[in-house]
């Protein structure tokens, strides 16, 4: 997870060096797409957002600020003036002073904890060890009893000894390990058919004993990606944009992709996405509808912009479209509604509330657009 190279300013010169050569006190430069090479204190930030999901489990990018003044005991997830090793920069840019490197970073402390963790035995291994102990004790007691009874009955010492040893060998279940291994291997095969890969055989039995499983789903059971599942336009209709989208919806996504700073590139046949998850979802939706962000930007170039910030809660870009200037704004609904000068604002507010109430974030039925207007209005309320 460590960044192989770090962009650092030394002796007044901007240069790239191996991240392993960083030392506390170095001034590093961060831009969208970079991985933070070491723990550092921000000294300059411009709309900087960093994804700390690998460190804190927080799925949304964290907005960082070099001007924040925090208490020394501030929890890790709330230290907005710090950046941490291994976390990717998804938006903006900044500069920071390195404070910790290597195993002294927060990610390094997690690595130490993992190395220090002792591997415990599974319930099956404990039960088999207990069974082996019971069998050994029982075999010794029975062999001792047979040995004594044999001597008392007048049998020769050598013959009684060989009989006792043979009995002890026969009491040991040599086939048990092989049978247990075969049964567990069968379980692993069945789990593999369900797309669950088991690394250690005894874990199969342990998993079968589980009645409740608690898991952090973000990035573990999911891909930690956002996807557009619904759209709404001023006609008052909800759309699945990839099933029944009209020209208005397609145009909306094309313009929305222009108001995004994320990057989607193909490098060595691999798709590389860099940027804010919300913006990536918009750009990917526009691509599915046939509008490439790169092509749209070439025909409708960006003239100026107002970057997103926590105070304004909006991002605005100005484009030259067919010789005319157009401002495209995206952001928090409450801020957008307050700036609108035309259109059915009440219906837009109702649609926003309706989408927010749905678990999936949109109407689950693509045919909602064909519902009678009174019913649709009632559902919106």
Please identify every residue annotated as catalytic: 216
Distance in angstroms (rounded) separating the CA atoms of residues 367 and 379: 14
Distance in angstroms (rounded) separating the CA atoms of residues 315 and 331: 6
Any idea which residue has 């890790």 for tokens?
76
Among left, alpha and beta (phi > 0; psi -120 to 50; other), residue 331 is: left
**Cα 184 to chain center, whole Å?**
31
Q: Phi and psi (nearest 5°) for 345? A: -65, -40
- From the number of C-beta atoms within 10 Å of its C-beta (0-12, 13-18, 19+), residue 99 rates as middle
- 3-state SS of the chain is CCCCEEEEEECCEEEEEEHHHCCCCCEEEEECCCECCCEEEEEEEEEEEECCHHHHCCCCCEECCCCCCCCCCCCHHHCCCEECCCCEEEEEEEEEEEEECHHHCHHHHHHHHHHHCCCCCCHHHHHHHHHHHHHHHHHHHHHHHHHHHHHHCCCCHHHHHHHHHHHHHHHCCCCHHHHHHHHHHHHHHHHHHCCCCCCCCCHHHHHHHCCCCCCCCCCCCCCCCCCCCCEECCCCCEECCCCCCCHHHHHHHHHHHHCCCCEEEEECCEEEEECCHHHHHHHHHHHHCCCCHHHHHHHCCEEEEECCCCCCCEEEEEEEECCEEEEEEEECHHHHHHHCCCCCHHHHHHHHHHHHHCCCCCCCCHHHHHCCHHHHHHHHC
């Amino acid at each position: 997870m460590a960044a192989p190279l770090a962009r650092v300013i030394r002796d007044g010169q901007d240069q790239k060096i191996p991240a392993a050569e960083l030392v506390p006190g170095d001034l590093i430069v961060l831009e969208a797409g970079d991985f933070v090479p070491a723990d550092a204190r921000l000294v300059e930030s411009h709309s900087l957002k960093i994804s700390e999901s690998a460190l804190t489990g927080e799925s949304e990018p964290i907005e960082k600020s070099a001007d924040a003044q925090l208490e020394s005991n501030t929890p890790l997830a709330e230290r907005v003036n710090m950046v941490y090793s291994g976390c990717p920069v998804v938006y903006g840019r900044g500069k920071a002073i390195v404070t910790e490197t290597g195993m002294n970073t927060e990610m390094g402390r997690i690595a130490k904890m993992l190395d220090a963790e002792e591997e415990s035995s599974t319930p099956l291994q404990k039960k088999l060890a207990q069974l082996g102990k019971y069998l050994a004790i029982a075999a010794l007691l029975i062999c001792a009893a047979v040995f004594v009874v044999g001597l008392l009955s007048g049998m020769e010492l050598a013959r009684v000894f060989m009989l006792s040893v043979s009995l002890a060998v026969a009491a040991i279940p040599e086939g048990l390990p092989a049978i247990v291994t075969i049964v567990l291997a069968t379980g692993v095969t069945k789990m593999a058919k369900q797309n669950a890969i088991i690394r250690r055989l005894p874990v199969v039995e342990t998993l079968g004993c589980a009645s409740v499983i608690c898991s952090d789903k973000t990035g573990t059971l999911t891909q930690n990606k956002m996807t557009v599942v619904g759209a709404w336009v001023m006609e008052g209709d909800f759309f699945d944009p990839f099933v029944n989208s009209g020209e208005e919806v397609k145009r909306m996504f094309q313009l929305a992709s222009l108001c995004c700073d994320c990057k989607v590139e193909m490098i060595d046949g691999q798709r590389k996405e860099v940027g804010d998850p919300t913006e990536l979802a918009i750009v990917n939706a526009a691509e599915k509808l046939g509008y490439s962000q790169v092509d749209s930007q070439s025909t409708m170039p960006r003239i100026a912009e107002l970057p997103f910030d926590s105070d304004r809660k909006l991002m605005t870009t100005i484009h030259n479209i067919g010789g005319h200037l157009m401002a495209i704004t995206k952001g928090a609904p409450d801020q957008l509604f307050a700036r609108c000068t035309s259109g059915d604002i009440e219906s837009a507010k109702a649609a926003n509330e309706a989408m927010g109430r749905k678990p999936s974030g949109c109407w689950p039925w693509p045919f909602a657009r064909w519902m009678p207007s009174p019913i649709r209005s009632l559902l919106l309320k």
